[in-house]
Structure 1
Amino acid sequence: MLTLSYPHIEKSELQPARLQRLPRIRIAQIVMDYIAYGWSVEEICRQHLYLTLSEAHAAMGYYFDHQEEIDQEIRLEWQQVQENITQSAKSPFYIRMKAKGLL
């Protein structure tokens, strides 16, 4: 069986894939910019100056080889955000605007 290695990427069991040099940056975070904005690898690096071109290419390569895994991570994160939004207290401004039918 062939095992691929991804330079610049580390993946521990039960943990999301991350950049080796910047372990706080998950591959899914980089991919979200690709999905949301349609940015090229070069544009991702222009928008995030801390990324090297080789790290961004490695992240996208990892994504295309593990798309189901990363897409699932993004879905779960999106669901958590939506739950947090619905559970958070609404501001008086929001409540009044909603009552007036303006939202």
Structure 2
Amino acid sequence: MKVVELVTSHLTYGWSPEELHFQYPHIAISKIYSALAYYWDHKQEIDTDIQHRLDYSEQMRLNAPISPLQAKLQAR
């Protein structure tokens, strides 16, 4: 798991390091603390990466074709 993915869970859900460890038991708690420390040392860079990921997801959502179910629901 990448630091940015762990940080996204931390920011989105407000999870503490202990809760992150509960959710991702395969990651040692020491690694979680290290990842969060890395985030705070590189906050601007990682926040920019997170924003790019959000922008990309939104662009993909907007460009996705309408599914048959969505078309049926919109026709109502």
- Point out 4+ residue stretches in structure 1 off by more than 4 angstroms: none
Partner in structure 2 of residue 50 of structure 1: 26
Partner in structure 2 of residue 36 of structure 1: 12
Highest relative contact order (Cα 8 Å, sep 6+), 1 or 2?
2
Question: Is 1:82 aligned to 2:58, yes or no?
Answer: yes
Partner in structure 2 of residue 69 of structure 1: 45
Please identify the structure whose Cα radius of gyration is greater.
1
What number of residue pairs does the alignment pair up?
76
Partner in structure 2 of residue 91 of structure 1: 67
Q: CA deviation at 1:96?
A: 2.1
Considering fraction of residues, name the structure with more helix. Answer: 2
Instruction: Report the residue type matching 2:70 in the other structure.
Output: Y
Structure 2 regions of 5+ residues with no counterpart? none
Q: CA deviation at 1:98?
A: 2.3
Partner in structure 1 of residue 3 of structure 2: 27
Residue 39 of structure 1 aligns to a residue whose secondary structure is: coil
Q: What TM-score do you get using the length of structure 2 for normalisation? A: 0.92
Q: What percent identity do the matched residue pairs reach?
A: 28
Q: CA deviation at 1:52?
A: 0.4
Residue 10 of structure 2 aligns to a residue whose secondary structure is: helix
Q: What TM-score do you get using the length of structure 1 for normalisation? A: 0.70
Partner in structure 2 of residue 11 of structure 1: none
